Structure 1
């Protein structure tokens, strides 16, 4: 990797590691290093991508991304074009070795898991995990997810009775995926309160980088110890099942990386969906009423919400292995490609219609979970959480409403994972 390209790659490497450390807020100076065009997919106006993203997609669904030092990059905003890039494993690489040497990153900093591996290593790890995320295996989690949701609704009701403020992020959106991951991994009940604290603190940018880094270190130590305990006495959770079925064919380091990947990929994304989806419910009473009275309305509501919100705004950059043409543009070996998932999910023959939330329109395939070999392995688990949480929320609290003006909600200004960090509500 040449010097100029290494400098540019270092930006994305540092941005990713910063995202692992804390949620990217408007104060994140690293984002200011990127050209303005690269910031467009990370920006929103309310719940919607900024209009410039749609205009850019209409003009050039694959457009050159100006980067310093003569490095060539591409921004992909069209649906078909994004799908083509994410599906072309032979032509594009996501391997961690692309980042080694950039921003002082070393090979031993590889976080493990699926996101930063190419075949054949990725194929092997994915094959280990996929059976644990089949509908049959996940159904055992259904009753516990419903119980977790009910417990959080009880907590919200208790706060309201005590006259205390209810923050839907802290009492609903974050605890549900955190405790579900506990169930999935097989975290002992005695450890769950502490695990929930660790898993949420690591994403808390309000506590500062130092606090979140400490939480990351502590949670990684916990996950490593949990893997060792599961190795000695395998339980019925995912880690125990992997140990039972694969034994020494999967290392403790690999298991820790997979567990951390599930925590990183499954907590903040689902929490953001739960919070932002609740805003739509609070603003659009017809959908709130439909979820409260009609079970058949739940699935289309969740799928449209996934498409409309697309909380993971961009896929992690791909690096071209070979010359390839996408959207009529020739991408050369070594070029950096950034795919806008939020742009792609608003792309179609009637783009204006796709800028409107409408769960009654015919279902449309979306890229909210990505595409290809790196498509989110926990997609169905996330759907289960959303399908359980939204109807329960509006059925328990039919008069739930915002406790602040809509225009006072503080969405994240620039972020890989779009979200909101506080959502005050009144439940009665």
Structure 2
């Protein structure tokens, strides 16, 4: 039986997680492989039938490091080897032949994390190849475009750039640290500077979509016709984490000012008194959502830990308290306040974020809410085939799909120490638990 002991020998938050971890690892071999030998995307939670046979290569960063962390390293190595046939020029090609930055970020992140875990040089070499392919094929005056332009896909010709792509800066900072190759840190500086100079960031202090990267005039016309102008989850949070990663590597005053500008923009545009909103259109912010809350909470904690004292932890505490008021009696958090359904992965990440907040503030209420959430995620979501996507306040399944990457991501709960202060002290664990 797998003995679950949190990092550094600490007692785990989930004391009896060993059997659940073993069941989860076994399901990857028994239920989650397609006829191509690769992990699939989705199965039916009732019949076990594969619903989405697309290999999970784009999300390997959400899967393989956690399988390796719990001892299934050989399986992780085999999956990367099998994925090579789907990789061209260092990057993952989707079924339609397209290469998109959104579906390559976690592929490269997974390679970096596997290299750090195993010491295998091949993982780092593959990540380096992919990073060079991104810079060579997708950079436009410092901005990274969403996908390569193609006449077969006319919408790509505007060469749109979302804030999500700024998240590659964090990977470039990691690669510079691992290789000593100054080209990566030079590119990170260049990209961060370009995004901080965009019209939307200049006006609002948060990152918005650049709808046309080769013409500001065309970009403004396209923006006027678009509904969503800015997205908090992934786009802004990954972008801000990248600025923070670069600042930690090179604490330049201009970077600190950009981060402080983003923090002020976040508070003005998204914070909403702790009921954090998910996206913005031309008239303002929309949709209070758990994914917006946990990502903001996590990021604000990291800002505090990086020396941005004062307002970040005040905002984080307000978010934590507001969402403790939304927590159901069964310990889970709704996907949106007042809604009947939850989301398994958002609850996993909210648990991690609350533990970080508890470790910083010393407030027991946040640790207790995290413990209840962790127990409920495992106790109410698990079925014979895995953890279903959504349940209600009674624990009844509302969406029985098994999203395979969420099975490995839930293993974060087995890595959390019971003592929040121990989590804050373990920087390697915090890095592994990050949601990108």
Structure 2 length-normalised TM: 0.25
Choose between structure 1 and 2 for higher RCO, CA contacts under 8 A separated by at least 6 residues. Answer: 1
Structure-1-length-normalised TM-score: 0.25
